[in-house]
Amino acid sequence: MIKRYKAVFSSLHTLYRLTHSFIDPKDFVLGVSKLYKNIFKADKVILVCKISNFYNFIKVQLYDKKQMVKKGGISILSKREKDILQDTKEIILDTRLICPLVFIEPFGIVYIKRKTKNDIFDDLEKRWFISISEQVSVYIKIYNLYQEQRKTILNYIKSLTTLLNQYIPTSHLHPKSTAKLIRMLSKELKLSSSEIKSLEYASLLHDAGKLHIPSTLLTKQYPLTDKEYKLIMKHPRKGVELIKELELLKPVIPIILHHHERYDGKGYPSHLKKEEIPLGSRILAVIDAFDAMFFGRPYKKNMSLEEVERELYNQKEKQFDPKIIDCFIKILNMKDTKKYLNSLR
């Protein structure tokens, strides 16, 4: 019995985590469906719900180790599912439990089933099913609010990057290649979807703090004085100030703050070294350096892929994390990547 309670509590915690992560709507509904399957040892689960900002329904079916995910209008619901959605009444049977998901108004249903008649849902499970479905309804609504907030924040990021690109037109990362390299590196390094999202946002915002630095200094072509260099070194902290109040961007803060640290500890602002540096910052440092070398900057001529590779390799364990460099060089040497990157210049 204690084991069953533990399973329910840990599932509720997972539900909380799913709701507050950067996970996309399809994976979110899939994750919730899997929770039902695990908690109730169900042979079949159907979860269908409307996700705001997504306009349509998402329907997940889990059975016999298979999973099916459909997106679409009301037509992806069966007649029975539409009726249940309209009646908003639970259906509690021995081997089948169905509950509408309601928050002010119905927006989905969940259905679980056990195959064999001698394995029926007991009274406790039936009560849990109703109360967990009430929790799920609330969490889906919270997830919806997060989605809306995310949209607002994305617009904020877009405005900020537009402003930044106008202010320092030649020093931003190239969006297409950066997005592709982040995706490929994240796959190699097995990052979670939340870590990938944070890294994508950080790649757009990491130099936003430069808005506080005079543009004449940012485009200066001769060696900087100590005073000028100190001013430039402030940009990670200034960047953090621009986003620190935005709850959703909290995971992005450490990546931005430490994107100029070096693996050997000689970077700034905190002289962190090796794994003390957040993984996202170590990845971004490599992508940032690649962009500057491959595409060039007003004060720096661009380099060929072979030259960039050599330079990155030389900085292994000095400026950069060796593991990340190995993965990055592996990606650069893929035939398709080479062709793609060279086509961008």
Phi then psi for 321, rounded to 5 degrees? -65, 125
As measured in angstroms, the least distance from the Cβ of 161 to Fe ion is: 14
Cβ within 8 Å of residue 277, ≥6 positions away: 258, 261, 263, 267, 321
Q: Does 125 bind Fe ion (CB under 5 A)?
A: no
Contacts to Fe ion from residues 157-196, by CB under 5 A: none
- Candidates 14-22, 51-59, 205-213, 293-301: pick the segment binding Fe ion (CB under 5 A): 205-213
| Shortest CB 41 distance to Fe ion, Å | 51
Q: Which of residues 34-63 bind Fe ion (CB under 5 A)?
A: none
Task: Name the residue type at position 58.
Answer: I
Q: How far is the CB of 331 from Fe ion (least distance, A)?
A: 22
Q: Which stretch binds Fe ion (CB under 5 A): 133-141, 207-215, 273-281, 305-313?
A: 207-215
The verdict on 261 binding Fe ion (CB under 5 A) reads no
| Number of residues located near Fe ion, criterion CB under 5 A | 1
Q: Which is nearer to Fe ion, 42 or 164 (CB)?
A: 164
DSSP secondary structure, 277-332, as one string:
S-HHHHHHHHHHHHHHHHH-BTTB----HHHHHHHHHHTBTTTB-HHHHHHHHHHH
- CB nearer to Fe ion: give 39 or 256: 256
CB of 75 to Fe ion, least distance (A): 49
| Partner residues linked to 110 by β-bridges | 47, 99
Q: Give the residue with the Cβ less far from Fe ion, 69 or 242.
A: 242
> Cβ of residue 206: shortest distance to Fe ion, in angstroms?
6
Question: In this complex, which beta carbon is closest to Fe ion, that of residue 61 or of residue 171?
Answer: 171
Instruction: Please identify, using beta-carbon distances, which residue of 31 and 269 lies nearer to Fe ion.
Output: 269
- Is residue 259 within 8 Å of residue 288, measured between CB atoms? yes
Q: Judged by CB, which is closer to Fe ion: 97, or 205?
A: 205
Q: Based on CB atoms, which residue is closest to Fe ion, 142 or 253?
A: 253
> Is the separation of the CB atoms in 48 and 137 below 8 Å?
no
Residue 207 vs 309, nearer CB to Fe ion? 207
Judge contact between 268 and 261, C-beta under 8 A: yes
Q: How far is the CB of 260 from Fe ion (least distance, A)?
A: 6
Between residues 207 and 321, which has the closer beta carbon with respect to Fe ion?
207
Nearest alpha carbon to residue 234 among 259, 205, 269, 258: 269
**Cross-sheet strand order for the sheet of 105-113:** 66-72, 57-63, 44-50, 105-113, 96-103, 91-92
Indicate the residue whose CB is closest to Fe ion.
Answer: 207
Give 59's strand partners: 48, 70
Reading the block at residue 313, the tokens are: 């390799």
Contact of 120 with 126, CB cutoff 8 Å: no
Closest distance between Fe ion and the C-beta of residue 5, in Å?
Answer: 49
Q: Rounded CA gap, 248 and 21, in Å?
A: 9
Q: Which among 114-122, 203-211, 308-316, 317-325 is the span making contact with Fe ion, rule CB under 5 A?
A: 203-211
**Closest separation between CB of residue 56 and Fe ion, Å?**
40
The whole-angstrom separation of Cα 127 and Cα 44 is 19
Q: Is residue 207 part of the contact set for Fe ion (CB under 5 A)?
A: yes
Task: Tell the smallest beta-carbon distance from residue 58 to Fe ion (Å).
Answer: 39
**What residues from 80 to 109 belong to the interface with Fe ion (CB under 5 A)?**
none
Q: Would you call 66 helix, strand, or coil by DSSP?
A: strand
Burial of 275 (0-12, 13-18, 19+ CB in 10 A): exposed
The binding site for Fe ion (CB under 5 A) comprises 207
